[in-house]
Structure formats: C-alpha cells, structure tokens
Amino acid sequence: MTEWLIVVLLIVGTAFMVTSSVGLVRLPDFYMRMHGPAKAATLGVICVLLAGVVYFTFEQDYFSIREVLAIAFIFITAPVGAHMLTKAARHIGVKFHDQTRIEK
C-alpha cells in the first residue's frame, strides 16, 4: 500500500519536472519560460520529497523532519528566485513576446 503511494508520488513529481523542461523548450520568450522551472521546484520537488517522507516514515520507521524542512525552504526560496530573475530581465530590458499585453 505505502509502496503504491510512493510510486504514485514519484511518478507525479517527475512528470511535473519533465513538463516544466518541455515548457523551457517550447515557450517563446524569457518571461514565459520563467514560469516553468519555478513550478517544477514547487509541485515536482515537493512530490518527490513527500515520497521520501512516506518511505522513511512507514518503511524505515523514522520520521525525517529534515525533508519537511526542505519542502518549507523550497516554498520560501522558489518565488524569490523567480521574482529576482524576472525583475532583473525587466531591468535590462529583455524583449517581450509580440503578443504580450502590457499594462502600464
């Protein structure tokens, strides 16, 4: 039972990471590509870490607080990273895709 849960979490997690890499290739401009990795770092990594938590809690009888902490830190750092990169791009004037509607 727990094995299945771990498998599902790992598959979902890696699926999201693959999706975000595909997004990195397919999306046309920098600002749009920024959305991909920021998301992989949230749901993808969190699913994989949760799989780890489940494995250690139920298979090894050891609750690892560090993995929960890692999830918390990813939640704090991921938006800051995405924000700073986009802000920097905006400042040095990276071009937007033609169809981007910009509100002043």
Structure tokens at 51: 């799989």
List the one residue out of 84, 18, 23, 88 whose CA is nearest residue 47. Answer: 18
- Rule CB under 8 A: say whether 20 interacts with other proteins: yes
The nearer residue to other proteins, 6 or 82, going by C-beta atoms, is 82
Among 4, 92, 93, 104, binds other proteins (CB under 8 A): 104
Check if the beta carbon of residue 1 is closer than 8 Å to that of residue 57: no
- The string over 36-57, giving b where at least 16 C-beta atoms fall within 10 Å of a residue's C-beta and e elsewhere, is bbbbbbbbbbbbbbbbbbbbee
Among 61, 62, 92, 99, binds other proteins (CB under 8 A): 99
Site for other proteins in 42-81 (CB under 8 A): 42-43, 63, 65, 75-76, 78-80
Cα–Cα dist 21/33, whole Å: 9
Binding site for other proteins (CB under 8 A): 15-16, 19-20, 22-23, 26-27, 29, 31-32, 34-36, 38-39, 42-43, 63, 65, 75-76, 78-80, 82-83, 86-87, 90, 96-97, 99-104
